[in-house]
Amino acid sequence: MIRLCNFYRKLIYKSRYWLYFIVALAIVWAVFAFVLAISFPATYPAFIGFLGETFGKILGDSDPDQKFELAKVLFKQNFIASFLDVAFGIVFGLVSVISITVNFFALGFLSAPAIAPQVFGTESVSLLVFIIAILPHGIFEIPAIFLSAAFGMRIGWYWLLPSSSGKRRKVLKDSIFDSLKILPLVFVLLIIAALVESYVTGWIIGF
């Protein structure tokens, strides 16, 4: 177990600058969405409705009361998204950028009524409830999102940088292999996140 932890620690450290970029991008989109939400609070109900409709399509015919089935659907959706981040990383990391944009725009927008309740009135929610609803599964899901997006970005861009001149093929090959190595960790994180979201988050927010 220690060897495995050290292996992934070194692998992640190797791609740390790509992780820094992805985290910074996530923060930018979350802050932008938050500012947008408090600037136009009337759009919040429509946004919630859109998310609810989208989530309903993802769940399909799954019964929310069947927690394990719900966890499987959540895991499948999230892992496919993470896999696509890596698989299409070669396209200049665009899928990674889209993934981060969508996820953290939504998170920033949803956080607005909890952070600035005076703006939203009856639409406001407790900040504590919001944190409790996000944190249990978020501590597993968010790192998985960051990792898959960062390694996807690395595939798309690292081999094009001036520092890779003269060894671009090797850099690209190493980036692809490292991305494949990170997927098992992403897989495990998303399994845990899906189970926690289904059993714990679902219980907290009542679905």
pLDDT (tens, 9 = 90+) of the chain, 207 residues, equals 889 999 999 999 999 999 999 999 999 999 999 999 999 999 999 999 998 888 877 776 666 568 888 899 999 999 999 999 999 999 999 999 999 999 999 999 999 999 998 898 776 778 888 888 899 999 999 999 999 999 999 999 999 999 999 999 999 999 999 999 999 999 999 999 999 988 887 676 655
CB-CB contact of 178 with 54 (8 Å) = no
- Can you tell me whether residue 201 is helix, strand or coil? helix
161 DSSP 8-state letter? S
CA angle in degrees (0–180, nearest 5) for 86-140-110: 95
Contact yes or no for 11/181 (Cβ under 8 A)? yes
User: Which amino acid does the sequence have at 188?
Assistant: V
Cα separation of the two ends of the chain: 36
